[in-house]
Amino acid sequence: MFHRQKVLLALIEEFGGSLKSTDLQKYLFLYTTICEKDKSYEFVPYKFGCCSLQSYKDKNKLMELGYLNEADDWVLKNKDKSFKAQLKVDTQNKMQLFRQKYEKLKGRKLIKYVYQNYPYYAVNSIIADEILDEDDLVKVKTCLKKRRKNVFATIGYEGITLEAYVNKLIKNDIRVLVDVRKNPLSRKYGFSKNTLKDVLYKVGIGYEHLPDLGIISSKRKKLVTQKDYEKLFNEYEKTVLGRNEMELDKLYGIYLDKKRIAVTCFEECHTMCHRGRVATHLKKINSEMEILHL
């Protein structure tokens, strides 16, 4: 069991062994934000506020292992087993103090508290108008201003979590993500096509897949130096980009329509990824296009 999963189970235990889903997410967010230097979980702004995508994946695994009941809420299957005892004494003490401070906040009062103190996580909320006053709503709206300037961004998911990746897109007002992987599958949680598309839809970002702009994975196996990458990408420009005008026109059309889009692949740095050449190619079509590497 991962340490973060022990923290998750211990937090449920601290609050009596059972928590509603919205309460769990808010407590987990507050605990990791206030009490942890190295965060066990990260969060995205979802329809009821802060939400850890990883926690739901962990929930499925913990149900499979028999630690949680198979239910919408978060309920320990064996309340006699102590998960807190598996944590360091200092962590146990922090968790106890945390519970004492926040246990009286539940439901909408807890949601309101999080929205007021961390307004960014209310930007996609479907209930913010119901529980916040006008001044608080202004704070939420000013967290993310819609940007008028068009931008063509690139982003890779190497070395970052799904939550960090999605937050980058949200904070840069990216409206459509265009996947330029040949095979949009990943062993890393959240980055296979269907999961990524679903997550983006839930936070208001569109998804398109243009596999014809990808590179066959076998061609990437022996890349070591920057020269190796340059050689591959020079070939890519002459072949793939040179022979896929229709796909490039489609990509450019998405940019013209949505104004702020991003192309994505795996590598952290765009100089090590063909998405950088895609951006350069479109820049030739429109020299005024702003390129942003997230």
pLDDT at 102: 98
Q: And the tokens for 95?
A: 């968790």
pLDDT on residue 39: 97
Q: What is the pLDDT of residue 78?
A: 87
Three-state SS across the chain?
A: CCHHHHHHHHHHHHCCCEECHHHHHHHHHHHHHHHCCCCCCCCEEECCEEECHHHHHHHHHHHHCCCECCCCCEEECCCCCCCHHHCCHHHHHHHHHHHHHHCCCCHHHHHHHHHHHCHHHHCCCCCHHHHCCHHHHHHHHHHCCCCCCCEEEEEECCCCCHHHHHHHHHHCCCCEEEECCCCCCCCCCCCCHHHHHHHHHHCCCEEEECHHHCCCHHHHCCCCCHHHHHHHHHHHHHCCHHHCHHHHHHHHHHHHHHCEEEEEECCCCHHHCCHHHHHHHHHHHCCCCCEEEC
**Averaged pLDDT in 10-residue chunks for the chain of 294 residues:** 96 97 98 97 96 97 95 91 95 97 97 97 96 95 82 97 97 96 94 97 96 87 82 90 92 96 96 93 91 95
Residues of the chain with CATH 3.40.1010: 151-293
Q: What is the pLDDT of residue 36?
A: 97
Per-residue pLDDT, 282: 92
- Residue 103's pLDDT is 96
Fold exhibited by the domain 151-293: Cobalt-precorrin-4 Transmethylase; domain 1 (3.40.1010)
Say whether pTM exceeds 0.85. Answer: yes
Q: State both tokens at 183.
A: 């095979």
User: How far apart are alpha carbons 226 and 23 in whole angstroms?
Assistant: 48
pLDDT of 225: 81
